[in-house]
Structure 1
């Protein structure tokens, strides 16, 4: 004689219990997938809202209002970097070439320095770039997190479409193939 399963509902057959378990698991998977889809959908459309509200000083002290970069004809590459970050420093010349080669096609590049203003000024005096640089300081870390950089690591790059939606994100050093893919 077999003992009854204490977890089983009285009168429920094993087939009915299995169906209930599978139905519950299926609903959990669907709920999770729906949440993930909605999260990505709203993240792609809304995560850049914080960016457009920012204003930083350029290295020369003039203001850089990021709202002025929105709505252009092309896409905007935003690169978070610091002078003390070797991969950041290594990718700056490539980003500068990309800016020069693709600006006529509407592409914009923006560097946001997560660093001290004096360090950035000194660095750029010896290695200037043709794209605008904003002195974001520690505020840049929070902004990069709002754009999807959960760890706050550098370098971090996002590509936005003319409507401000995030199209691509990359944490770590960029490569020529990343930029080619984004084109």
Structure 2
């Protein structure tokens, strides 16, 4: 009887793993590839312009609870990084983005947390970040989708030129050399 139970259990586990693997493979095909520029030819100039307007019309509290209007970041190139404390790739890239923000004063950096204020404050106690962090919670997901990330994946980085135009969006961890080069191009124009 024990042998039969063991055989059934092993068979059940094998079927469960096979089904899980199949489901993962199929969902991976449908998801956008990470660390890729999401600017697609199908994205119209009008929709990018509207997304930029929506971004600059938004306001969220900072970690001290003061409301910060995104409009206050207009006029200079802007790097907007949507992130969360529960997102390992987000947390991993934060120190590098902080270093980049300090080294590139001609560009502004802002992190928009898809998280709670408490989680972000706890995160800052462990990993200090010098650029502003705003607390948007899950309300930021609809903006992320409007900006060209339909799945709402994180991290998600948006590059905005000095005129307020969204020039590039990146899903997944940024490639630091590539991002640095793109920011330098924005600050020269």
Give the shorter-chain TM-score range: 0.7 to 0.9
Instruction: Give 1:39 deviation, angstroms.
Output: 4.3
Match for 1:62 among 44, 66, 77?
Answer: 66
Instruction: Give 1:117 deviation, angstroms.
Output: 1.3
Instruction: Give 1:38 deviation, angstroms.
Output: 7.8
Aligned residue in 1 for 2:75: 71
Instruction: Give 1:37 deviation, angstroms.
Output: 6.1
Report matched runs for 1:83-94 at 5 Å. 83-94=85-96
Q: Measure the CA separation in 2 of the matches of 1:135 and 1:124.
A: 13
Aligned residue in 2 for 1:134: 134
TM-score relative to the length of structure 2: 0.72
Instruction: Give 1:177 deviation, angstroms.
Output: 2.2
Structure 1: gaps (5+ residues): 1-35
- Does the aligned pair in 2 maintain the 1:47–1:147 contact within 8 Å? yes
Aligned residue in 1 for 2:145: 145
Question: Which has the bigger relative contact order, CA under 8 A and spacing at least 6?
Answer: 2
Report matched runs for 1:1-183 at 5 Å. 39-72=43-76, 75-103=77-105, 106-182=106-182, 183=184
Q: CA RMSD in A?
A: 1.6
Q: Measure the CA separation in 2 of the matches of 1:116 and 1:40.
A: 33
Q: Measure the CA separation in 2 of the matches of 1:76 and 1:92.
A: 16
What per-residue deviation string (whole Å, max 9, x for no partner) do you get for residues 156-181 of structure 1?
A: 00100011111111000112122133
| Paired residue secondary structure (2:137) | coil
What per-residue deviation string (whole Å, max 9, x for no partner) do you get for residues 34-72 of structure 1?
A: xx9684222333321111111111111122111111123
Q: Measure the CA separation in 1 of the matches of 2:88 and 2:51.
A: 27
Runs of 4 or more, structure 1, over 4 Å off, are 36-39
TM-score relative to the length of structure 1: 0.74
Q: Measure the CA separation in 2 of the matches of 1:180 and 1:133.
A: 20
Q: Measure the CA separation in 2 of the matches of 1:159 and 1:56.
A: 19
Aligned length: 144
- Does the aligned pair in 1 maintain the 2:49–2:165 contact within 8 Å? yes
